[in-house]
Amino acid sequence: MYQFDERIDRYGCNQVKYDFVGRVAEGVRADALPMWIADMDFAAYPPLIEALQKRVERRTFGYSLHKTDEFFGAIRGWLRYRFGWEVANGDICYTPGMMTAIAFLIQGLSAPGEGVVIQPPVYDSFAEVIERNGRRVVNNPLIPREDGGYEMNLTQLEAQLRLPENKILLLCSPHNPVGRIWREDELRRVGELCKENGVFLISDESHCDLVRRGLRHVPVQQLFPGSPLIATCMTPSKTFSVSGFQIGYVLLQDEGLRGIWERESMKVHIFHPNALAITALQAVYNDCREYYERSLDYLDENLRLVDDFLKTEMPRARYRLPEATYLCWIDLRGYGCPPQEIMERCLYRGNVVPDPGAGFGQGGEGFIRLNAGCPRETLMEGLQRLRKAMED
């Protein structure tokens, strides 16, 4: 019987979250508890292990191609299961990762020096990939609410998208790190603004499956079928904690966009996923739905436990249950410490490693992002260490 409570040994597997935790800062102890990086600490699901074992037993690992009915069918079946969304085989473009896809799209849809709009605090690699490709970051910061939630600044966004030098809106949906699921009316307005101004919309929907019970994520492209302006980036990586396979896909429902994608990916010779990645994607999408549904219940309870703990043990912290993701966006400004001291307390006093909020850009100062995608014993240990860091 699969147990989400099982604590598995992740050390010695060349995994960034554990084996390279010392790179976070100088002097971080080897036994620091990693609660950073968005991958979960659960053991791989049994149907995935069985599929990989069968593939390994074939004893051959030559060049592999993903363009099969089985590969496309697994993705199409998952999108139908999750969103009631019908896509065609030809809409699906392979990518080795979400940021690779975003980089290709930025290169193909804009010119050096042109603007890409993002909405901080947001996944830190967004600003990095824009700048590394010679484009200009245009910030449209989210508006914090009194209840700890966030809204898009649609008024400022409209003004930014009207400027001819801004060519792309890079949307995080659901939003990492604040955990918002954008409502359908918000997504429709964003899509309409892009259409009115001829701005390309790249939607990173890496966390689209990890929604809390009773809530619903809508892929923005589903609201604008066939749009020549929208690219949707998806992956099983977050849902099933298989980031190490480096496999994802971009949904492009316009022939012109697919042509741009092919041109940019051919420049760097992106053709073949690795053999086991193909097996992994098909296994998790076809055969791991029961485990996925159980994981949502487990994560829901973890997120509630964080809420209960902070209210009783760390009342100066502010936290709002995320609508999506397993990431806790915790406001520690009530402790009166500068952002650097908050991280130093976590790393050296609490011996716990969250992500620093400042890394997510404007509006993240004084926050941390804590990963609750782990066995409950690990989570409670991490929260106790956080309390020690800030309260003792």
Lowest mean pLDDT among 12-26, 288-302, 369-383: 12-26
Mean pLDDT confidence for 368-372: 98
Task: Please state, in angstroms and rounded to a whole number, the distance separating the CA atoms of residues 342 and 390.
Answer: 8
What pLDDT is recorded for position 22? 86
- pLDDT class for 271, splitting at 50, 70, 90? confident
pLDDT digits (tens, 9 = 90+) for 296-325: 999 999 999 999 999 999 999 999 999 999
- pLDDT class for 270, splitting at 50, 70, 90? confident
pLDDT digits (tens, 9 = 90+) for 343-361: 999 999 999 999 999 999 9
Lowest mean pLDDT among 120-134, 260-274, 328-342: 260-274
**CA of 134: how far to CAs of 17, 98, 114, 137, 387, in Å?**
29, 19, 8, 10, 42
What pLDDT is recorded for position 272? 87
- Please indicate whether residue 309 or residue 23 has the higher confidence score (pLDDT): 309
* CA-derived radius of gyration, the chain: 21
pLDDT digits (tens, 9 = 90+) for 92-139: 999 999 999 999 999 999 999 999 999 999 999 999 999 999 999 999
**Which of 126, 128, 130, 156 has its CA nearest to residue 143?**
156
Q: Which residue has the tokens 């800030």?
A: 390
Chain centre to alpha carbon of residue 253: 22
Token readout for 203 is 């939607």
pLDDT digits (tens, 9 = 90+) for 197-244: 999 999 999 999 999 999 999 999 999 999 999 999 999 999 999 999
> At residue 30, does pLDDT exceed 90?
no
**Whole-number mean pLDDT of the chain?**
97
What pLDDT is recorded for position 133? 98
Residue 34, CB-side half-sphere exposure with 13 Å CA sphere: 21
**CA of 30: how far to CAs of 15, 95, 334, 354, 366, in Å?**
14, 34, 29, 15, 25
Mean pLDDT confidence for 81-102: 97
Nearest 5°: the CA angle 96, 117, 223 is: 70
Domains of the chain are 16-44+289-391 (3.90.1150.10), 51-287 (3.40.640.10)
